[in-house]
């Protein structure tokens, strides 16, 4: 079935959660209320029992979810929860966030630092893997804890917290004129308050050879109220060209307030791209990827990468074979215009760029 941007509003289990139901537009004025995203974040589900009760999941899911949530904490914002179908353990959004017993399985080749972050660390908070661009680990916080996250074991406690602690990283960027682009990552950089984010962006804009600012964020997808008028002004208010790279894996994520947020980014003049991850049991079919890509381009968002799963410890149950992804890309090329077909890639530790598959 093609995604239409509409969904059946969930029933009673969600009546005590703040924010609009899936498929219910927030409108620009509502989304511009800066404090609302803080309130929604505070209301995020962090307890496995509450998630299971709200979604009316089978009792058999309870104890494994409790155990795996101790291994890697659970976190699901209300907006994202509202897009899930109660009672459906196979729901593609739920499967991205539900802790499972499989996370305890030790599988050869699945390691804590799947993409070689440690080897590319140049200063506190600064990763420099690829020519011309560098990445800042702005925070360890996220609005959602995806169970396949490639940084689920990252030592965030070692990274800068206060603005002055960024001085070594900023000095390193200023001293390397080959760096033209800075990527704000994490965690999720949009978890920073506007005040802290603006202070960091202003310091980057003061480095004359920087030309582009790229934000990698899942918040426009899972916490759409974060896309405020002030945020748009902040990102477009410097001489650097901003880019927003969001992360959606399934067309059913791209409805209601999420669709509104993506339109605001695009119509606000910020080029917006999507990175998806090929995930077994979630989106490893042509139909799922077709609907995702079509929904993205209808919102003005360009499908950018389809990532093969990063082989992080605890996520082996999400891996689909390369051949599956290659067949999907082949079919996408047959059915969609070229600009709607993402590149199928993997990240190889130590490589000079993403590796096409």
User: What mean pLDDT do residues 279-300 have?
Assistant: 98
Q: Do 258 and 336 belong to one domain? A: yes
Q: Do 208 and 350 belong to one domain? A: yes
Q: Do 98 and 153 belong to one domain? A: no
258 has binding-site annotation: no
In a domain, 21, yes or no: no
Mean pLDDT of the chain: 91
Q: pLDDT tens-digit profile of 23-48?
A: 433 333 343 444 589 999 999 999 99
Q: Do 283 and 233 belong to one domain? A: yes
Q: Do 49 and 194 belong to one domain? A: no
In a domain, 318, yes or no: yes
Q: 256-279 in b/e burial notation, b at 16+ Cβ within 10 A? A: bbbbbbbbbbbebebbbbbbbbbb
Q: Do 47 and 147 belong to one domain? A: no
Q: Do 210 and 260 belong to one domain? A: yes
Number of domains in the chain: 2
Q: pLDDT tens-digit profile of 116-138?
A: 999 999 999 999 999 999 999 99
Q: Do 227 and 267 belong to one domain? A: yes
* pLDDT in the model for residue 20: 47
Measured CA to CA, the distance from residue 346 to residue 14 in angstroms comes to 37
Q: Do 155 and 223 belong to one domain? A: yes
Residue that finishes a domain, picked among 54, 78, 104:
104
3-state secondary structure the chain: CCCCCCCCCCCHHHCCCCCCCCCCCCCHHHHCCCCHHHHHHHCCECCHHHHHHHCCCCHHHHHHHHHHHHHCCCCECHHHHHCCCCCCCCCCCHHHHCCCHHHHCCCCCCECCCCCCHHHEEECCEEEEECCEEEEECCCCCCCCCCCCCCCCCCHHHCCCCHHHHHHHHHHHHCCCCCCEEEEECCCHHHCCHHHHHHHHHHHHCCCCCCEEEEEECHHHHCHHHCCHHHHHHHHCCCCEEEEEECCCCHHHCCHHHHHHHHHHHHCCCCEEEEEECCCCCCCCHHHHHHHHHHHHHCCCEEEEEECCCCECCCHHHCCCHHHHHHHHHHHHHHCCHHHCCEEEECCCCCCCCEEC
Q: Do 284 and 135 belong to one domain? A: yes
Domain hosting residue 232, numbered range: 118-356
Q: Do 136 and 42 belong to one domain? A: no
Q: pLDDT tens-digit profile of 53-70?
A: 999 999 999 999 999 999
Q: Do 147 and 38 belong to one domain? A: no
């Amino acid at each position: 079935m093609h995604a239409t941007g509409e969904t059946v509003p969930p029933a009673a289990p969600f009546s005590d959660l703040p924010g609009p139901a899936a498929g219910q537009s927030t409108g620009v004025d509502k989304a511009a209320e800066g404090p609302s995203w803080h309130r929604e974040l505070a209301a995020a589900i962090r307890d496995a029992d509450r998630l299971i009760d709200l979604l009316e999941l089978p009792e058999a899911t309870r104890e494994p979810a409790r155990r795996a949530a101790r291994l890697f904490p659970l976190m699901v914002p209300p907006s994202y929860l509202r897009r899930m179908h109660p009672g459906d353990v196979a729901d593609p959004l739920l499967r991205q966030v539900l802790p499972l017993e499989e996370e305890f399985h030790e599988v050869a080749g699945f390691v804590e630092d799947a993409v070689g972050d440690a080897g590319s660390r140049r200063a506190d908070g600064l990763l420099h893997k690829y020519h011309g661009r560098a990445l800042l680990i702005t925070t360890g916080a996220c609005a959602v804890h995806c169970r396949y996250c490639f940084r689920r074991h990252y030592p965030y406690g070692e990274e800068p917290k206060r603005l002055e602690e960024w001085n070594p990283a900023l000095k390193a960027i200023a001293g390397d004129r080959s760096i033209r682009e800075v990527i704000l990552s994490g965690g999720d950089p949009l978890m920073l308050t506007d005040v802290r984010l603006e202070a960091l962006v202003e310091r980057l804009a003061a480095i004359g050879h920087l030309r582009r600012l790229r934000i990698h964020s899942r918040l426009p997808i899972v916490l759409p109220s974060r896309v405020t008028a002030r945020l748009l002004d902040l990102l477009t208010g410097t001489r650097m060209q901003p880019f927003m790279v969001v992360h959606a894996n399934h067309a059913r994520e791209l409805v209601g307030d999420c669709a509104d947020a993506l339109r605001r980014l695009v119509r606000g003049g910020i080029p917006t791209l999507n990175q998806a991850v090929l995930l077994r049991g979630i989106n490893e079919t042509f139909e799922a990827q077709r609907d995702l890509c079509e929904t993205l381009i209808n919102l003005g968002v360009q499908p950018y990468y389809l990532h093969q799963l990063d082989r992080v410890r605890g996520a082996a149950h999400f891996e689909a074979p390369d051949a599956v992804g290659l067949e999907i890309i082949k079919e996408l090329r047959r059915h969609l215009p070229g600009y709607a077909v993402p590149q199928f890639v993997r990240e190889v530790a130590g490589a000079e760029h993403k590796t096409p598959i």
